């Protein structure tokens, strides 16, 4: 544990990956959360089949990237950190 603490102190930047609860607190939609989950409902299920597998990325990569940026990257980049 002390080695980990020392590495964090020496680091220029630190990124910590957590569960969906932390993201939701910052206004980032979760995958299966109540109400605003990205994969919820019929549209979400269709999106999961298309964008949650290599299928959509292989057949329409530019569309898949646009969706990725809109649904994932942009909310994360604009979120207020805890």
Average pLDDT over residues 3-32: 83
Reported confidence tier of residue 74, pLDDT bands at 50, 70, 90: confident
Structure token pair of residue 48 = 């999961």
* Alpha carbon distance, N-terminus to C-terminus of the chain: 23
Average pLDDT over residues 55-75: 85
- Its pTM stands at 0.52
Read off the pLDDT of residues 19-60 as tens digits, 9 standing for 90 and up: 667 777 777 877 777 766 777 888 878 888 887 888 888 998
């Amino acid at each position: 544990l002390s080695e980990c603490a020392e590495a964090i102190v020496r680091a220029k930047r630190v990124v910590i990956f957590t569960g969906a609860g932390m993201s939701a607190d910052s206004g980032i939609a979760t995958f299966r959360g109540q109400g605003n989950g990205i994969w919820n409902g019929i549209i979400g299920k269709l999106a999961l089949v298309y964008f949650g597998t290599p299928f959509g990325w292989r057949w329409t990569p530019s569309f898949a990237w646009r969706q990725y940026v809109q649904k994932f990257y942009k909310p994360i980049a604009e979120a207020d950190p805890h």
